[in-house]
């Protein structure tokens, strides 16, 4: 049995969703963030020396880092599902997006979330974020104009990585003095990106996503 250690509003959503896509049995172990710091509790540190969620335990082994967990589950239990065949163009795109999701794509999004949560004032940071968003979203949108999913015409585990990251960019910021829901002026960064919008709508309508989202 796969134990998924789940922290509310976190990348562990990806792992629940992937298990639903692969129809894998799992046990969900929910943990609460510290309400003041939003940091992970001691129970997560006891399993992951980096103190981060997600972390899974499978057959007594701990696996952490969402991309590594997803690759581990696809390789171990995927039976060639959710991954393009080696030697294809889609396979290279799959690798690219699998890793880009938590690195190049996540970086400006996280800078935006953290700077607003911490009340950081900067003239340079918003320009950096805006520039990175343009480059990244132009590219993702053009890829999604060419095919239905991020690595080609088939849904893959790279979509689990990328769609989660894109969704993180599409929520109003939370910061000192305001919270989710207060962002009445929030404009989606995907307003001009119809292919990304179409993609995220398709993703949110997937039966496995709908099932998983009930547990997020």
Ligand X SMILES: N[C@@H](CCC(=O)N[C@@H](CS)C(=O)NCC(=O)O)C(=O)O
The contact set with ligand X (CB under 6 A) reads: 7, 10-11, 39-40, 51-54, 65-67, 102
CA angle, 138 as apex, 81 and 202 as ends, to 5°? 40
Q: Considering beta carbons, is residue 47 or 211 the nearer one to ligand X?
A: 47
Query: From CA 56, how far away is CA 195, in angstroms rounded?
Result: 33
- Shortest distance (Å) from residue 215 CB to ligand X: 15
Angle between helix 124-146 and helix 106-117 axes, rounded to 10 deg? 140
**Rounded least distance, CB 144 to ligand X, Å:** 22
Please, what is the minimum distance in Å from the beta carbon of residue 36 to ligand X? 12
Rounded distance between C-alpha atoms, residue 47 and residue 107, angstroms: 26
Of residues 67 and 152, the one with the C-beta less far from ligand X: 67
Cα→Cα distances 113→6, 88, 106, 127, Å: 20, 36, 10, 15
**Residue (118 or 124) nearer to ligand X, CB:** 118
Q: How far is the CB of 7 from ligand X (least distance, A)?
A: 5
Which is closer to ligand X, CB of 45 or CB of 77?
Answer: 45
Q: Which helix (H) or strand (E) holds 113?
A: helix 106-117
- CB 149, min distance to ligand X, A: 20
CB of 161 to ligand X, least distance (A): 8
Tokens 């250690």 found at: 5
Between residues 11 and 83, which has the closer beta carbon with respect to ligand X?
11
* 200: its two tokens: 């995220």
What are the phi and psi torsion angles at 5 (to 5°)?
-85, 115
Tokens of 151: 């690595």
| Closer residue to ligand X (CB): 63 or 82 | 63
**What one-character DSSP code corresponds to residue 178?**
B
Indicate the SS3 state at residue 191.
coil
């Amino acid at each position: 049995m796969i134990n998924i250690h789940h922290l509310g509003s976190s990348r562990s959503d990806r792992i629940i969703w992937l298990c639903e896509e692969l129809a894998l049995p799992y046990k969900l172990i929910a943990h609460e963030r510290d309400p003041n710091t939003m940091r992970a509790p001691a129970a997560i540190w006891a399993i992951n020396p980096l103190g981060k969620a997600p972390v899974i335990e499978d057959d007594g082994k701990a696996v952490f880092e969402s991309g590594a967990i997803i690759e581990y589950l696809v390789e171990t239990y995927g039976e060639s599902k959710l991954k393009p065949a080696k030697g294809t163009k889609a396979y290279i795109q799959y690798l690219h997006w699998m890793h880009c999701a938590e690195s190049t794509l996540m970086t400006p999004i996280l800078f935006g979330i953290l700077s607003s949560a911490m009340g950081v004032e900067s003239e340079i940071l918003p320009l950096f974020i805006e520039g990175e968003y343009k480059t990244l979203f132009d590219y993702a949108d053009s890829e999604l104009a060419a095919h239905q999913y991020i690595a080609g015409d088939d849904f893959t585990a790279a979509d689990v990585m990328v769609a989660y990251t894109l969704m993180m960019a599409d929520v109003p910021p939370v910061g000192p003095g305001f919270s989710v829901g207060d962002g009445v002026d929030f404009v989606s960064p995907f307003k001009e990106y119809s292919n990304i919008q179409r993609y995220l709508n398709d993703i949110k309508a997937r039966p496995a996503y709908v099932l998983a989202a009930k547990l997020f």
